[in-house]
Amino acid sequence: MNQMALPLQWPADPRSDAFLLTASNQMAARILEQWESWPTMAAILTGPRKSGRSLLARIFAARSGGTIIDDAERVPEVQIFHAWNAAQAERRPLVIVADASPPRWSVKLPDLRSRLANSSLAEIGPPDDELVAALFEQLFQRRGLDARPDLIEWLTARIERSHLAVIRAVDMLDQGAMERRARLSIALARSTLLQGGLIADS
């Protein structure tokens, strides 16, 4: 498991200062690392919610001196248009973080649409087994929960392959362990996640 850590001087949230790298997101990270070879000084970074895309964009900005537009679908198109032009004029790379790239992201401004079409695309995919296990380990550690390897292996084999599902599972298990005043175990996880509808009975 590799991690891309933010530079020490970067004022990161101490709980989220490293981006976990696996095959599911490595290509996106590599594209951002190689920004000097982009055909234009702009790239679109897409990925599922809670996939670490904003963190990856911040790492990019800290390392490259570039700029970010996060949640681009909620930003006025004219603002993105001017930021894209400024990135070219200043030769300062820009990463635009969005849920999806056009045409799935419906851009109305024709001049912006054409510029985005000429931008590099970095896509974070759904988490693979390696990343799911690493996310469970990371999230449990952040909450001070003792999750044994056998529990993480059990969860990885059963949980939906999405970043949100992993986060919801940890939320449920944290709450369940607190309410029952019990340590984390496979038995507790099975009953808690079955009740919460995150896993199917098997």
Q: By C-alpha distance, which of 79, 92, 78, 82 is closest to 42?
A: 92
Taking each continuous run of H as one helix and of E as one strand, the counts in the chain are 8, 6
**Residues 31-39: what's their mean pLDDT?**
96
State mean pLDDT over 76-98: 98
**Of 15-19, 58-62, 118-122, 193-197, the least confident:** 15-19
Q: What's the mean per-residue pLDDT of the chain?
A: 91
Pull the structure tokens for residue 123.
């896509």
Q: How many domains does the chain have?
A: 2
CATH code of the domain in which 134 resides: 1.10.8
Residue 202 lies in a domain: no
Whole-number pLDDT of residue 11: 39
Last residue of a domain, one of 123, 146, 176: 123
Q: Is residue 75 part of a domain?
A: yes
4/16 Cα distance (integer angstroms): 11
Query: Which pLDDT tens digit goes with each residue over 93-147?
Result: 999 999 999 999 999 999 999 999 999 999 999 999 999 999 999 999 989 999 9
- Among the three residues 123, 143, 158, which one is the final residue of a domain in this structure? 123
pLDDT of residue 201: 76
How much is the pLDDT for 1? 63
Whether 19 and 88 map to the same domain: the answer is yes
Q: Which amino acid is at 90?
A: E
| Segments forming the whole domain that contains residue 91 | 2-123
Q: State the pLDDT at residue 4.
A: 64
Q: What CATH number is associated with residue 84?
A: 3.40.50.300
147-172 pLDDT, tens digit each: 999 999 999 999 999 999 999 999 99
Q: Is the same domain home to 116 and 138?
A: no
In terms of domains, do 97 and 174 share one? Answer: no
Residue 186 covered by a domain: yes
pLDDT value of residue 17:
56
How much is the pLDDT for 200?
86
> What is the mean pLDDT of the segment spanning 59-84?
96
The pLDDT > 70 percentage for the chain reads 91
> Is residue 76 domain-shared with residue 21, that is, in the same domain?
yes
Looking at the fold, whether 31 and 101 belong to one and the same domain comes out as yes
pLDDT band per the 50, 70, 90 thresholds, residue 18: confident
Q: Which of 69, 101, 123 is the last residue of a domain?
A: 123
Same domain, 136 and 95: no
Length of the chain: 202
Q: Is residue 201 part of a domain?
A: no
CA distance 135 to 38: 30
